[in-house]
Amino acid sequence: MVEPVETPPVASEPDRDDLLVVENLQVHFPIKRGLVFDRTVGHVKAVDGVSLRVRRGSTYGLVGESGCGKSTFGRAVLRLEEPTGGTVMLDGESVTGLKGEALRQARRRMQMVFQDPLASLDPRQSVQSLMIEPLRVHQPAPNDQLVARAAEMLELVGMPRAALAKYPHEFSGGQRQRIGIARAMILNPELVIADEPVSALDVSVQAQVINLLEKLQREFGLTYIVIAHDLAVVRHISDVVGVMYLGQMVEEAGSDDLYAQPLHPYTIALMSAIPIPDPEVEDRRERILLRGDLPSPANPPSGCRFHTRCPYRQPTRCDTDEPHLREIEGHPGRRVSCHWAEQIASGEVQPMDSLVVEAVAAD
Amino acid sequence: MREPLLEIDNLSVTFRRRRSVTRAVDGVSYSVAPGEIVGVVGESGSGKSVTVLALMGLLPDRGVEVTGQVRYNGRDLLSLGDSEMAKLRGREIAMVFQDPISSLNPVVPIGVQVSEVLLAHTKTTRKAAMAESVDLLRRCGIPDPDRRLKEYPHQLSGGMRQRALIAMALACKPKLLICDEPTTALDVTIQAQVLELLKELVTDSGTAMIMITHDLGVVAGLCDQVNVMYSGRIVEAAPRGELFAHPRHRYTHGLLASIPRLDLPRGDPLHPIPGTPRDTVAWAKACAFAPRCMHATDDCVRPDLPLQPLPDSPPDHPVRCVHPAEA
Ligand SMILES: Nc1ncnc2c1ncn2[C@@H]1O[C@H](COP(=O)(O)OP(=O)(O)OP(=O)(O)O)[C@@H](O)[C@H]1O
Ligand SMILES: Nc1ncnc2c1ncn2[C@@H]1O[C@H](COP(=O)(O)OP(=O)(O)OP(=O)(O)O)[C@@H](O)[C@H]1O
Ligand code: SF4
Ligand code: SF4
Ligand SMILES: [Mg+2]
Ligand SMILES: [Mg+2]
Query: Each residue of B111-139: pLDDT tens digit?
Result: 898 898 888 877 889 999 999 899 888 87
pLDDT at A164 over 90: yes
Of B37, B199, B260, the CB nearest to A232: B260
With CB atoms and an 8 Å threshold, state whether B259 touches A206. yes
Polymer length of chain B = 327
Over the Cα atoms of chain B, what is R_g? 21
Query: How confident is the model at residue B1, as a pLDDT?
Result: 60
With CB atoms and an 8 Å threshold, state whether B261 touches A276. yes
Nearest CA in chain A to B42: A203
What is the mean pLDDT of the segment spanning A199-218? 91
Kind plus residue range of the DSSP H or E element containing B198: helix B188-205
With CB atoms and an 8 Å threshold, state whether A232 touches B276. no
The answer to whether residue B148 is domain-embedded is yes
What is the mean pLDDT of the segment spanning B247-254? 97
Q: Interhelix angle for B188-205 vs A265-273, to 10°?
A: 50
The answer to whether residue B114 is domain-embedded is yes
Query: Each residue of B212-234: pLDDT tens digit?
Result: 999 999 999 999 999 999 999 99
The answer to whether residue B109 is domain-embedded is yes
B263 near A276, Cβ under 8 Å?
yes
Residue A71 alpha carbon, nearest atom of ligand 1? 22
Q: How far apart are CA A241 and CA B10, in angstroms?
A: 47
Q: Could you tell me the sign of the dihedral formed by the alpha carbons of B11, B39, B266, A248, in that order?
A: positive
B52 near B28, Cβ under 8 Å?
no
Q: Interhelix angle for A173-185 vs A127-138, to 10°?
A: 20
Ligand 5: centre distance to CA A248 (Å) = 14
Nearest CA in chain A to B289: A204
Q: How far apart are CA A80 and CA A340, in angstroms?
A: 37
Domain of B143, in residue numbers:
101-171
Query: How confident is the model at residue B14, as a pLDDT?
Result: 97
From residue B115, how far is each of B89, B105, B107, B145, B171 by CA, in Å?
A: 17, 13, 15, 13, 8
The answer to whether residue B158 is domain-embedded is yes
With CB atoms and an 8 Å threshold, state whether A203 touches B216. yes
Amino acid B82 reads: D
β pairing state of A191-195 and A223-227:
parallel
Least confident of A270-274, A286-290, B205-209: A286-290
Of A66, A175, A207, the CB nearest to B270: A207
The answer to whether residue B267 is domain-embedded is no
Residue A74 alpha carbon, nearest atom of ligand 1? 18
User: Coil, helix or strand for B289?
Assistant: coil
ipTM above 0.85, yes or no: yes
Domains of chain A: 18-109+189-358 (3.40.50.300)
Residue ranges with CB less than 5 Å from ion ligand 5 = A 71
Mean pLDDT taken over chain B? 91
User: Residue A48, CB half-sphere, CA atoms under 13 Å: how many?
Assistant: 24
The answer to whether residue B121 is domain-embedded is yes
What is the mean pLDDT of the segment spanning A170-180? 86
Edge to edge, what strands does the sheet with B6-16 contain? B21-32, B6-16, B64-72, B75-76
Query: Each residue of A137-161: pLDDT tens digit?
Result: 888 899 999 999 999 999 988 888 9
Residues in B touching A173 (Cβ below 8 Å) = 276
The answer to whether residue B30 is domain-embedded is no
Residue to mutate (ligand 2; options B48, B50, B95, B233; most atoms within 8 A of CB): B50
Number of independent structural domains in chain B = 1
Kind plus residue range of the DSSP H or E element containing A53: strand A39-55
Q: Ligand 4 within 6 A of B253 CB? A: no
Compute how many other C-beta atoms are within 10 angstroms of the C-beta atom of residue B134: 18
What is the mean pLDDT of the segment spanning A99-128? 84
Q: How close B92 comes to chain A (CA, Å)?
A: 23
Query: How confident is the model at residue B164, as a pLDDT?
Result: 87
Least confident of A91-105, A269-283, A322-336, B94-108: B94-108
The answer to whether residue B141 is domain-embedded is yes
Q: How far apart are CA B246 and CA B252, in angstroms?
A: 10
Q: How close A60 comes to chain B (CA, Å)?
A: 15
Amino acid A204 reads: S
Ligand 6: centre distance to CA A276 (Å) = 22
